[in-house]
């Protein structure tokens, strides 16, 4: 069994914030793969379903970002899971918008949701880092992540979330390489192959110029 955790803040006020892209990823997975309706449990919203042969629990903590670890820790203890069974989907400032990376373990890089999870279950869980870009200045980060995505972002967000959903079965089975391939096919679709160039037509033989010599001149030229 796998537990997929999406990070964000609850409520309509935050629904389209950059900080909530983890929630958005889980919503797309649940919708595309026929998961059960969301219900309240573990201080969050929970949905159950299957991805391939794996039973998967989806969790969106409703404790607000800074306390996400409370919900994750409670769910992990209930299901007798380990940190190796948990994958957290979260926004990543250090990746360009539309980029996505899988990481196993490591630090929290100042992300308050990850910091809270570290406190409750340690740091060895997996993460799906979803790039939202950086505002350029450290003091602008708080306002940036708590601001809605722009209209211009909608195309790459939709492609990226579809790719994450396409690869969710591979992620649940532990094949992060195939998961990343599925994401890449949505974000950077292969170019259509160019048609083979048409074969050049063979050159037509040149038409000889008409012989304007007189019969006498032709005879003289023959024996000259």
pLDDT along the chain (224 residues), means of 10: 97 96 98 98 98 97 96 97 97 94 92 96 97 94 95 93 97 96 88 61 60 66 60
Domain enclosing residue 131, as ranges: 2-187
Q: Is residue 206 part of a domain?
A: no
Tell me whether residue 210 is in a domain. Answer: no
d(CA 23, CA 40): 15
d(CA 62, CA 168): 23
Catalytic residue IDs: 19
In the block, residue with structure tokens 């994958």: 87
Residue 164 is assigned to a structural domain of this protein:
yes
CA nearest 181: which of 172, 173, 191, 171?
Answer: 171
The answer to whether residue 12 is domain-embedded is yes
Q: Alpha-carbon distance 98 to 92, whole Å?
A: 10
Strand ranges inside 116-224, DSSP E: 126-131
> Which candidate, 158, 172, 159, places its Cα nearest to that of 128?
172
Does residue 146 fall inside a structural domain?
yes
**What's the domain count of the chain?**
1
In a domain, 82, yes or no: yes
- Please give the pLDDT value at position 224: 57
Residue 201 lies in a domain: no
Q: What is the pLDDT of residue 157?
A: 95
Look up residue 165 and give its two tokens.
Answer: 């959903």
Is residue 222 situated within a structural domain? no
Can you tell me the distance from the alpha carbon of 23 to that of 221, in angstroms, rounded to the nearest whole number? Answer: 96
- Using DSSP's 3-state secondary structure scheme, residue 139 falls into helix
For the chain, give the longest Cα–Cα distance.
Answer: 116
Q: What is the pLDDT of residues 10-59, one digit of tens each?
A: 999 999 999 999 999 999 999 999 999 999 999 999 999 999 999 999 99
**Inter-residue contact 143 to 117 (CB < 8 Å):** no
pLDDT for the residue 48: 98
**Residues in contact with 189: Cβ distance below 8 Å, sequence separation at least 6, in sequence order:** none
Q: Which helix (H) or strand (E) segment is 152 a member of?
A: none
CATH number at residue 178: 3.40.50.1470
pLDDT at 118: 96
Residue 190 pLDDT:
67
Rounded distance, CA 118 to CA 73, Å?
10
Contact assessment for residue 171 and residue 102, using Cβ atoms and an 8 Å cutoff: yes
């Amino acid at each position: 069994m796998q537990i997929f955790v999406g990070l964000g803040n609850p409520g309509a006020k935050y629904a389209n914030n950059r900080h909530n892209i983890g929630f958005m990823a889980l919503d797309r997975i649940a919708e595309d793969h026929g998961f059960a309706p969301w219900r309240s449990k573990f201080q969050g919203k929970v949905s159950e379903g299957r991805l391939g042969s794996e039973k998967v629990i989806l969790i969106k903590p409703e404790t607000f970002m800074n306390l996400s670890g409370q919900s994750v820790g409670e769910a992990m203890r209930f299901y007798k899971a380990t940190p190796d069974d948990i994958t957290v989907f979260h926004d990543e400032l250090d990746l360009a918008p539309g980029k996505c990376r899988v990481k196993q373990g490591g630090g929290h890089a100042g992300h308050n949701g990850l910091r809270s999870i570290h406190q409750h279950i340690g740091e060895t869980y997996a993460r799906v880092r979803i790039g939202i870009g950086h505002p350029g200045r450290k003091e602008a980060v708080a306002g940036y992540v708590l601001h809605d995505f722009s209209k211009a972002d909608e195309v790459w967000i939709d492609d990226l979330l579809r790719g994450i959903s396409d690869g969710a079965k591979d992620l649940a089975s532990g094949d992060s390489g195939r998961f990343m391939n599925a994401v890449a096919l949505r974000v950077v679709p292969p170019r259509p192959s160019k048609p083979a160039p048409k074969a050049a037509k063979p050159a037509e033989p040149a038409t000889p110029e008409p012989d304007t010599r007189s019969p006498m001149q032709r005879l003289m030229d023959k024996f000259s």
